């Protein structure tokens, strides 16, 4: 027995000592599989079809933004003016197509990244 556990034992000590629960049988297998799962996740090559489809998706999204930027910009301006009640002249940078291009490209890259992240499933082995 440990030197610092030589205190007077009572019923709580017994209860806690006997409260051990065996883990479910599948848990150890799942835990043992973690290195494999993480390795697969780290070294998983981006397959060509996914890369192609994601590129098409990004280009399509960028094209859509560029095509509809005028009305979209007008709509955003109206909404902002309606909500905050001031002119959007202070938000001039939104008028430039490059701003929309950067914003949507960022969103799409985020979308693609999430799409790639969820496949390995390392948090749920």
By CB under 8 A, name the binding residues for another protein.
Answer: 2, 4, 10-24, 27-28, 30-32, 34-35, 38-39, 122-125
Question: Among the residues of 7-47, which ranges form H helices?
Answer: 11-17, 25-32, 34-43
Smallest distance, Å, CB 19 to another protein? Answer: 5
Smallest distance, Å, CB 28 to another protein? Answer: 6
Q: Under a CB-based contact definition with an 8 Å cutoff, are residues 71 and 114 in contact? A: no
Query: Is the Cβ of residue 1 or residue 98 nearer to another protein in the bound state?
Result: 1
Query: Is the Cβ of residue 17 or residue 47 nearer to another protein in the bound state?
Result: 17
Query: Is the Cβ of residue 16 or residue 83 nearer to another protein in the bound state?
Result: 16
Query: Is the Cβ of residue 23 or residue 85 nearer to another protein in the bound state?
Result: 23
Smallest distance, Å, CB 114 to another protein? Answer: 19
Q: What is the DSSP string of 52-66?
A: HHHHHHHHHHHHHHH
Q: Under a CB-based contact definition with an 8 Å cutoff, are residues 73 and 94 in contact? A: yes
Structure-block tokens of residue 46: 């981006």
């Amino acid at each position: 027995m440990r030197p610092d556990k030589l205190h007077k034992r009572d019923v709580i000590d017994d209860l806690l000592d006997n409260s051990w629960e065996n883990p479910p049988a599948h848990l150890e297998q799942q835990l043992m599989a973690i290195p494999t799962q993480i390795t697969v996740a780290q070294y998983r090559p981006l397959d060509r079809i996914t890369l192609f489809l994601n590129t098409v998706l990004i280009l399509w999204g960028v094209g859509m933004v560029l095509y509809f930027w005028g009305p979209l910009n007008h709509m955003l301006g109206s909404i902002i003016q309606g909500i905050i009640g001031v002119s959007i002249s202070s938000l001039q940078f939104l008028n430039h197509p490059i701003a929309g291009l950067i914003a949507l490209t960022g969103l799409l890259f985020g979308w693609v990244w999430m799409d790639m992240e969820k496949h390995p499933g390392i948090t749920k082995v």
